[in-house]
């Protein structure tokens, strides 16, 4: 009869070409002082039980998860070792153990970007990451604090307020990290497209801030090269000079950063979040104020709103301002 302890000792004996490899495997599977795996509370009373025992098989995933979670060194290595141990059990003893391993990351930054993307789900809480990623709550708290304090991404600061991405239920600012690797012509295509989009007053600030971020990420050579060939490529040099003046103003902009009350500068924010607003409209014989409106759609020429249970079409040029409902316009 092969016991669970026998399987661990056999795996350690066969695993690792160097003394260092064997030491890593032993530390993960049989460190008695730190109660790792075989000495974990779920397995330490089962050492003499056969590896085929249902009780042993049911407790192996628990011992693996807690061991990896408490392991403060390279978790990728720990997960790799345990995957190999499970393959060893299957090959040597015909024992299959199902374990849902967490994703692995090459760096702390990769893990932070994963957290940012997962927090897009409004029901997702920071405490959930401990179970999903097999890390301590201290690690998650440190990652969230680092994002709030600001991390450097391609020479720019990215700051994300913890309350914005975790606790708010409405008007949530979701951050979508996209780091592109493009040749210079592709960059020009992106920037020209954003220049056109910036002509739409509702999208203007969004487009300008994004273009400025892209411009900031270029090397000095890249920026100078675009300026140098701007005439040959029929580019608007003034657009790039404006982007140069807006460099390094921060990597991330909230919806509020991209919105403003003049004209239709707030329209997209109210539309996307289905928030009631008050709109001041210029008409032939004066102004009209529409309170408690819901904006239903936006185009380059007009917006459609629901006001007093009726749909109205308002020309873009007629919108003087849009403000949060309940806020005094004057």
On whether both 69 and 119 belong to a single domain, the answer is no
Length of the chain, in residues = 330
**In this predicted structure, what is the pLDDT of residue 170?**
47
On whether both 18 and 69 belong to a single domain, the answer is yes
On whether both 83 and 14 belong to a single domain, the answer is yes
Alpha-carbon span 5 to 38, nearest angstrom = 7
Domain annotation covers residue 171: no
- ∠ CA(176), CA(126), CA(156), 5° rounding? 35
On whether both 89 and 116 belong to a single domain, the answer is no
Domain annotation covers residue 252: no
On whether both 228 and 279 belong to a single domain, the answer is no
On whether both 41 and 114 belong to a single domain, the answer is no
Domain total of the chain: 4
| pLDDT tens digits for range 51-71 | 999 999 999 999 999 999 999
Domain annotation covers residue 177: no
**In this predicted structure, what is the pLDDT of residue 116?**
78
Give exposure, 109-131, as e/b (b: 16+ Cβ within 10 Å). eebbbbbbeebeeeeeebeebbe
| pLDDT tens digits for range 146-203 | 877 777 776 666 777 655 554 444 445 667 777 777 899 999 999 999 999 999 888 8
Query: Which residues of the chain carry a pLDDT beneath 70?
Result: 16-17, 120-126, 154-157, 161-174, 250-251, 326-330
On whether both 80 and 117 belong to a single domain, the answer is no
Decide if 281 contacts 314 (C-beta within 8 A). Answer: yes
Domain annotation covers residue 103: no
- ∠ CA(26), CA(32), CA(36), 5° rounding? 65
Domain span holding position 237: 184-245
On whether both 236 and 286 belong to a single domain, the answer is no
On whether both 49 and 129 belong to a single domain, the answer is no
CATH number of the domain that residue 288 is part of: 2.30.30.100
């Amino acid at each position: 009869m092969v016991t669970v302890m026998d399987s661990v000792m056999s795996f350690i004996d066969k695993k690792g070409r160097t003394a260092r490899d064997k030491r890593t495997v032993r530390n993960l599977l049989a460190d008695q002082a730190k109660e790792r795996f075989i000495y974990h509370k779920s397995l330490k009373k089962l050492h003499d039980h056969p590896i085929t025992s249902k009780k042993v098989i049911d407790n192996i995933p628990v011992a693996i998860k807690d061991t990896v979670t408490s392991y403060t060194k390279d978790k990728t290595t720990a997960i790799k070792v345990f995957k190999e141990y499970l393959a060893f059990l299957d090959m040597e003893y015909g024992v299959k153990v199902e374990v849902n391993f967490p994703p692995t990351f090459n760096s702390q930054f990769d893990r932070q970007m994963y957290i940012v993307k997962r927090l897009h789900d409004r029901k997702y809480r920071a405490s959930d990451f401990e179970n999903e990623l097999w890390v301590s709550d201290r690690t998650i708290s440190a990652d969230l604090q680092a994002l709030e304090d600001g991390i450097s991404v391609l020479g720019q600061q990215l700051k994300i307020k913890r309350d914005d991405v975790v606790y708010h239920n409405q008007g949530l600012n979701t951050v979508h990290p996209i780091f592109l690797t493009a040749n210079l012509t592709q960059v020009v295509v992106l920037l020209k497209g954003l220049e056109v989009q910036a002509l739409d007053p509702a999208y203007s600030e969004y487009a300008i801030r994004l273009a400025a971020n892209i411009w900031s990420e270029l090397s000095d050579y890249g920026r100078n090269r675009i300026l140098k060939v701007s005439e040959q490529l029929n580019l608007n040099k003034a657009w790039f000079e404006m982007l140069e003046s807006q460099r390094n103003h921060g990597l991330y902009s909230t919806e509020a950063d991209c919105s403003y009350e003049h004209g239709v500068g707030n329209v997209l924010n109210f539309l996307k979040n289905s928030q009631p607003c008050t709109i001041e409209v210029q008409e032939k014989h004066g102004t009209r104020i529409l309170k408690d409106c819901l904006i239903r759609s936006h185009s380059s020429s007009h917006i459609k709103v629901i006001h007093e249970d009726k749909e109205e079409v308002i020309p873009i040029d007629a919108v003087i301002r849009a403000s949060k409902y309940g806020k005094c316009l004057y």
